[in-house]
Structure 1
Amino acid sequence: MELIVTKKVMKNLSAILCSAFICTTSTSVLANTQAKFDEYVANLKQEAAQKGYDNTLIEQAFATAKFKKKVISADKSQPEVKETLEGYLPKRVPQWKIDRARKLYAQNKELLEQVAAEFGVQARFIVALWGLESNFGKIQGGHGVISSVVTLAFDGRRETMYKNQLWAALDILKEGHITLDKFKGSWAGAMGQTQFMPTSFNAYAVDYDNDGRKDIWTTQADAFASIANYLKQAGWNDDLTWGRQVKLPEGFDKNYILKRGTRTRKQWLEYWADSERSLADWQALGLRKMDGTDLPNVDVTAALVMPDDMGGRMYLAYDNYKALMHWNRSYYFATSVGYLSDRIGYPAI
């Protein structure tokens, strides 16, 4: 009995000592990381001063820069895409979101169609991106943008990219588009109803209501115009829709399909050019609408896109699909935008 008690005591003591060691080690590692982060921030402040940013802005902005372990964890643990488009679309574009998109389109119809006419981007695509990026402005993220981009730059995997985001973020603050206390976004630094990264904000955001601020956080007019401006600058053509799902004939040669895989945008566009053909050519190759009828008899070119594999959905994607892929180079994302836009209001082609 005595021996048994001793073993239990030893086991518990060992666990306590082990926990204490782990706790001490974790605290030591965290303290070391914090010290390195503080040094990194100090160097960034010097670099910001060399770039000509005002000292008051530098002190105020970097005072909010905190090391966010959760941001690093989120960046490194992004899930691998293992589902198919068949499973993805119903979750990404459920019926309630379609209903909400239609309702909000109707409520904002005058403004949306004014923006659409001015920028040459159909309103249904503006609403679709608004809905998919931020759930129509409801989910914008609560992370401090400065902390997010500084933490990700400090992590080092994409330091140059996130330092560029930091300088762009300082420009946004310098120009007074938002106050520091409200400068919030996703863990990755995407902001507002449009979920623009800071560099995208500086390139595409629009002060549509002419109040002196490009407010993609709380002003719908600015958010709608910013979405439209992005697509316009990416080459949008409002004479076209985005694409359509098609059926392939038996024994179709998969070499006609747009090549897949990780690549630069330049390479992807080269692959697109290799796949692109007229609708008449695709018709001659045996492609048909999903109901088995002929493709539209119009002078339009398209590339054949395969989001999954030969057993999954196939799409003839028009030039506007390239603009959606410029926004987010993901077949699933671009297709979900088109899918939602179609259910807001069906296209002519």
Structure 2
Amino acid sequence: MTHKWLAILGLAVVLPLQAADKVNFEQYVAQLKQEAVARNFSQATVDAAFAGIKLHKRAIKADRNQPEFKKTLDTYLPQAVPDWKVAKARKLMEQHRELLKRVGRAYGVQPRFIVALWGVETNFGSYTGNFSVVGATASLAYEGRREAFFKDQLFAALTILEQGHISAEQMKGSWAGAMGQCQFMPTSFLAYAEDFDGDGKKDIWTNKADVFASAANYLKQVGWRDDLTWARQVTLTQPVAKELTGLNVKRTLSQWQQMGVRRYDGSDLPTRDVEASLVQPDDAQGRSYLAYANYDALMRWNRSHYFVAAVGHLADRIKFSQ
């Protein structure tokens, strides 16, 4: 029965416009292809990118049902940075020592942090995701909650294909479209990926030189400092007002010292003239860190204090075990 007849019969049934007007996925893909051509992508790129495309319902389900953290750092870190991962990081750091040193010098990033990011993101490249990046981003754009964001990622992916860095068939990633061994979203790839070995391709899927350099370039561009570590765990000899905690508040180490902040072993803070933030990822009863500029840089990579703590913890264990 049409809306017209429902109205004549006096039935107050109103369907949302979105539900009435929603196109199916095949129609949506056809619109995307038309837009891609209008944006001057070659027909060959468009045909290859959308060949065999299907709706990734698993990606949509994963986006809608991202788990909430119900752990603390004390329970999370041993799981995120187990002893076997530290041992593997040390082995791979030695295996790629010369390349990591060259990348570290070129971008001003300590190699242990490059390896730690690599380990936390994809278990050193062993798990990078098996979703079609074009298919996943198209599916998530179609779902509609973040359509503009995922359309931007889709067209960035087409740009990567057009530039010849990888084939459409090989362009695999996570359910959200994060790609390669450093898990760059397509827009991040365009902004930060590097062709370190000069072969004409920015290959963050299989080329270690490009993987390491791309990660290092990202950190460099968002403010990394190679004269600082990421953070230091501290203890408080007296309570610190809640409004003084968090990354938006910066104080010098001497100022934190005056407020009763000490190294974790209870000794005085360093006397260096650097600023830091007091961060408590769980709460005032959990771990406290003095976070330096590199903590902020890692938060630009992934806006999760637990992610940053895992990367920093792994980097520290590599350093301290050498």
Q: Compute the TM-score of the two structures, normalised by the length of structure 2.
A: 0.91
Q: Residue 310 of structure 2 corresponds to which residue in structure 1? A: 336
SS of 2:145's partner is coil
Residues 220-247 of structure 1 show CA distances to partners (whole Å, capped at 9, x for unaligned) of 0000000000000001110111110000
Q: Give, in whole Å, the separation in 1 of the partners of 2:156 and 2:149.
A: 11
The yes-or-no answer on 1:134 pairing with 2:122 is yes
Which of 34, 37, 48 is the matching residue for 1:60?
Answer: 48
Offset at 1:346?
A: 4.1
The yes-or-no answer on 1:293 pairing with 2:281 is no
C-alpha contact 1:287 1:295 (8 A) present in aligned 2: yes
Aligned residue type for 1:71: A
Aligned residue type for 2:67: P
- Alpha-carbon spacing, 1:317–1:51, altered in 2? closer, same or farther (3 Å): same
Q: Give, in whole Å, the separation in 2 of the partners of 1:34 and 1:182.
A: 31
Which of 217, 229, 240 is the matching residue for 1:229?
Answer: 217
Q: Residue 109 of structure 2 corresponds to which residue in structure 1? A: 121
Q: Residue 313 of structure 1 corresponds to which residue in structure 2? A: 287
Q: Give, in whole Å, the separation in 1 of the partners of 2:183 and 2:68.
A: 21
Which of 232, 242, 245 is the matching residue for 1:257?
Answer: 245
Q: Residue 25 of structure 2 corresponds to which residue in structure 1? A: 37
Aligned residue type for 1:312: G
Q: Give, in whole Å, the separation in 1 of the partners of 2:78 and 2:111.
A: 22
Higher alpha-carbon Rg: 1
Q: Give, in whole Å, the separation in 1 of the partners of 2:191 and 2:240.
A: 42
Aligned residue type for 1:190: A
Aligned residue type for 2:128: Q
Flag structure 2 segments of 5+ consecutive residues without an equivalent.
Answer: 1-19
Offset at 1:35?
A: 6.5
Q: Residue 50 of structure 1 corresponds to which residue in structure 2? A: 38
**In percent, how many aligned pairs have the same letter?**
55
C-alpha contact 1:34 1:67 (8 A) present in aligned 2: no
Aligned residue type for 1:285: M
Structure 1 segment 1-349 matched on structure 2, within 5 A: 36-258=24-246, 272-273=247-248, 275-346=249-320
Quote the RMSD (CA, aligned, Å): 1.6
C-alpha contact 1:131 1:137 (8 A) present in aligned 2: yes
Q: Give, in whole Å, the separation in 2 of the partners of 1:65 and 1:184.
A: 13
Q: Compute the TM-score of the two structures, normalised by the length of structure 1.
A: 0.84
SS of 1:180's partner is coil
Higher helix share: 1
C-alpha contact 1:64 1:146 (8 A) present in aligned 2: no
SS of 2:71's partner is coil
Q: Give, in whole Å, the separation in 2 of the partners of 1:245 and 1:127.
A: 21
Q: Give, in whole Å, the separation in 2 of the partners of 1:64 and 1:325.
A: 36
- Alpha-carbon spacing, 1:306–1:326, altered in 2? closer, same or farther (3 Å): same
Bigger Cα displacement from structure 2, 249-258 vs 101-110? 249-258
Residues 96-137 of structure 1 show CA distances to partners (whole Å, capped at 9, x for unaligned) of 101110111011111101100010000000000000111001
Number of paired residues?
302
Residues 299-320 of structure 1 show CA distances to partners (whole Å, capped at 9, x for unaligned) of 1110001100111000000011
Aligned residue type for 1:314: S
C-alpha contact 1:279 1:298 (8 A) present in aligned 2: yes
